[in-house]
């Protein structure tokens, strides 16, 4: 009896020993996988830093400035240039690159909006369904470093500002397709600035002044995002820099957001200094002399589309006949939504970011 008990205990010990060995083997495999992952991440990080160092301190100041601005314009990687440059050096880079924007006040007389009967699209005014179809046109645009889309909306009265919530306070932002659904719109692009500390903001609180359907919904001006972009009650695009909330009331605005800089004012393009900006995803809005609205979205941070500079936006807007145009929020916010689908690729993993404001087409 005692021998059977000893034998049973021995078998239990063997099973326990086997389980311990399996656990130890599993732990060793997990540690090795973790070590491989950490090593791979370190190799990538060190490699990227080495590339940055080579470009930052290489022979081409233009390439160095372009990379610095590209990274500085992002939410997650804006700290990288400061690893290599002092505040004083960063200031000098900023001073020798950028846009000298026109300081003119928007002259709305330069825009004469065509009436439906004046349009030369071959569609009679008594066929509203066909006329509506002709009123929106999508164009593919390309450049040496980017690809994107231009949405042309011939009737500017259809373009307005859609917001995530009213009031804004205490809410998360909404995805662009959700805002489109809320307003029963057919298209939209992202709009103005919103609070996004460290790139992890909820997107629900705008920065600057916001108008929607003739009502001022937000009036906290900002020293950096200081360009009002929107439409007055005559459906003409207003691009106004440095306006306070009280001054904005004199512009007869019906829909507007805040971002910038101004790209074109009264047919006069901003003057580019250096690289003007980095290569990044971009969104801009403009208006032709006949009133048609130009809604431009450029993809970036991709192998087949690195992105566009602000100067690239000016060139595209001038090519399409803009007399007034302004830069809107970009980066992972840059999205174009049309007829129930996202048109551009974008860089956000969710397909879109939560945001506070959009320009919608109803």
- Tell me, what DSSP letter sits at residue 1? -
The rounded mean pLDDT for the chain is 88
* β-sheet with 336-338: strand ranges across: 159-163, 357-361, 187-190, 336-338, 341-342
Q: Which of 16-30, 143-157, 201-215 is predicted most confidently?
A: 143-157
Residue 313 confidence (pLDDT): 98
pLDDT tens-place string over residues 324-362: 999 999 999 999 999 999 999 877 665 678 999 999 999
- Tell me, what DSSP letter sits at residue 11? H
42 close to 35: Cβ distance less than 8 angstroms = no
State pTM to two decimals: 0.84
Q: What is the mean pLDDT of residues 165-184?
A: 91
Q: Indicate whether 171 pLDDT > 80.
A: no
Q: Which of 8-12, 102-106, 275-279, 285-289 has the lowest mean pLDDT?
A: 8-12
Q: Where are the alpha helices (DSSP H) in 127-272?
A: 128-134, 176-183, 245-248
Q: Indicate whether 314 pLDDT > 70.
A: yes
Residue 352 confidence (pLDDT): 77
Residue 350 confidence (pLDDT): 59
Q: What is the mean pLDDT of residues 300-313?
A: 95
Q: Indicate whether 124 pLDDT > 60.
A: no
pLDDT category of residue 75 using cuts at 50, 70 and 90 = confident
pLDDT category of residue 116 using cuts at 50, 70 and 90 = low
Determine what percent of the chain is predicted with pLDDT higher than 70.
90
Distance CA 307, CA 178 (A): 26
What burial letters (b/e) apply to 286-298, b meaning 16+ CB within 10 Å?
A: bbbebbbbbbbbb
Residue 131 confidence (pLDDT): 41
Q: Which residues contact 236 (CB under 8 A, 6 or more apart)?
A: 106, 108, 111, 113, 156, 287, 291
Residue 39 confidence (pLDDT): 84
Read off the tokens for 113: 């909006």
Residue 3 confidence (pLDDT): 54
Distance CA 300, CA 229 (A): 23
Q: Which residues contact 217 (CB under 8 A, 6 or more apart)?
A: 163, 166, 167, 168, 210, 211
Torsion of CA 211, 188, 157, 236, to 10 degrees: 60
Q: Which of 21-30, 140-149, 226-235 has the lowest mean pLDDT?
A: 21-30
Determine what percent of the chain is predicted with pLDDT higher than 90.
67
pLDDT category of residue 126 using cuts at 50, 70 and 90 = very low
Q: What is the mean pLDDT of residues 51-55?
A: 88
Residue for token pair 């909306």: 153
Q: What is the mean pLDDT of residues 112-129?
A: 52
Angle (nearest 5°) at CA 361 between 355 and 362: 115
Q: What is the mean pLDDT of residues 171-176?
A: 90
User: Mapping DSSP to helix (H, G, I), strand (E, B) and coil, where does residue 70 land?
Assistant: helix
Residue 213 confidence (pLDDT): 96
Q: Indicate whether 129 pLDDT > 70.
A: no
Q: Indicate whether 199 pLDDT > 70.
A: no
Q: Indicate whether 5 pLDDT > 60.
A: no
> What are the boundaries of each domain within the chain?
2-96, 100-361
């Amino acid at each position: 009896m005692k021998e059977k008990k000893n034998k049973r205990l021995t078998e239990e010990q063997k099973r326990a020993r086997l389980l311990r060995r399996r656990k130890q083997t599993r732990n060793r495999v997990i540690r090795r996988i973790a070590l491989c992952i950490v090593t791979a991440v370190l190799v990538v990080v060190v490699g990227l830093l080495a590339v940055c160092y080579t470009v930052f301190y290489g022979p081409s100041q233009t390439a160095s400035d372009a990379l610095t601005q590209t990274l500085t314009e992002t939410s997650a990687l804006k700290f990288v240039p400061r690893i290599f440059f002092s505040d004083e050096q960063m200031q000098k880079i900023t001073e020798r690159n950028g846009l000298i924007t026109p300081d003119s006040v928007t002259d709305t007389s330069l825009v004469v909006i065509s009436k439906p009967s004046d349009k030369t699209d071959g569609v009679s005014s008594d066929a509203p369904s066909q006329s509506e179809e002709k009123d929106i046109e999508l164009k593919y645009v390309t450049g040496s470093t980017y690809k994107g889309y231009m949405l042309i909306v011939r009737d500017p009265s259809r373009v307005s500002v859609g917001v995530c919530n009213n009031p804004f306070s205490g809410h998360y932002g909404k995805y662009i397709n959700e805002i489109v659904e809320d307003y029963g719109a057919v298209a939209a692009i992202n709009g103005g600035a919103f609070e996004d500390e460290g790139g992890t903001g909820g997107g629900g609180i705008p920065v600057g002044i916001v108008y929607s359907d003739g009502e001022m919904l937000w009036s906290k001006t900002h020293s950096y995002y200081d360009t009002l972009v929107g439409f007055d009650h005559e459906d003409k695009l207003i691009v106004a820099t440095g306006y306070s909330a009280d001054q904005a009331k004199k512009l007869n605005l019906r829909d507007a957001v805040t971002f910038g800089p101004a790209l074109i004012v009264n047919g006069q393009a901003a003057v580019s200094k250096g690289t003007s900006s980095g290569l990044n995803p971009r969104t801009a809005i403009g208006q032709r002399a006949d009133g048609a609205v130009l809604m431009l979205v450029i993809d970036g941070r991709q192998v087949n589309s690195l992105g566009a500079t602000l100067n690239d936006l000016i060139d595209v807007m001038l090519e399409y006949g803009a007399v007034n145009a302004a830069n809107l929020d970009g980066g992972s916010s840059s999205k174009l939504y049309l007829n129930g689908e996202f048109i551009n690729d974008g860089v956000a993993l969710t397909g879109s970011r939560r945001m506070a404001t959009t320009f919608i087409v109803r």
